[in-house]
Amino acid sequence: GESVGLHLPTLSVQEGDNSIINCAYSNSASDYFIWYKQESGKGPQFIIDIRSNMDKRQGQRVTVLLNKTVKHLSLQIAATQPGDSAVYFCAENMGGGGADGLTFGKGTHLIIQP
């Protein structure tokens, strides 16, 4: 079964506000995490990743925070824009460098209100 999950299936935010999308994971051995964005009718696209030896990583308008104590991952999007409307997935590598890729969460649908 999946150990990666999201707290909310849908998140609605006002344009210009900051968005925070949360993700919980259950495997303490997971050592690598990725956030993907999937727009309607398209495949998932990489946003940002973080390794377990870090607790924060920043990209362009996005920040990923990792709290290993409570096994929680979050994606913060600054100044949300209409183009940010999408489903966001977190994914974890279950550790051990196994050949089975990543395990994905079920996704959060981010809706931008004008």
Partner 1 sequence: DVKVTQSSRYLVKRTGEKVFLECVQDMDHENMFWYRQDPGLGLRLIYFSYDVKMKEKGDIPEGYSVSREKKERFSLILESASTNQTSMYLCASSLIVGMGELFFGEGSRLTVL
∠ CA 38-41-47, nearest 5°, is 20
Q: How many CA atoms lie within 13 A of 30 on its CB side?
A: 31
∠ CA 20-23-26, nearest 5°, is 160
Q: What are phi and psi of 84, to 5 degrees?
A: -85, -10
CB of 69 to partner 1, least distance (A): 23
Closer of 60 and 114 to partner 1 (Cβ):
60
CB of 62 to partner 1, least distance (A): 15
Q: What are phi and psi of 83, to 5 degrees?
A: -70, -10
CB of 46 to partner 1, least distance (A): 4
CB of 82 to partner 1, least distance (A): 21
In the window 24-63, what residues touch partner 1 (CB under 8 A)? 32, 34, 36, 41-46, 49
Q: Pattern 86-105, binding to partner 1, x per CB under 8 A?
A: ---x---xx--xxxxxxxxx
* # chain residues binding partner 1, by CB under 8 A: 25
Per CB under 8 A, residues contacting partner 1 are 2, 32, 34, 36, 41-46, 49, 89, 93-94, 97-107
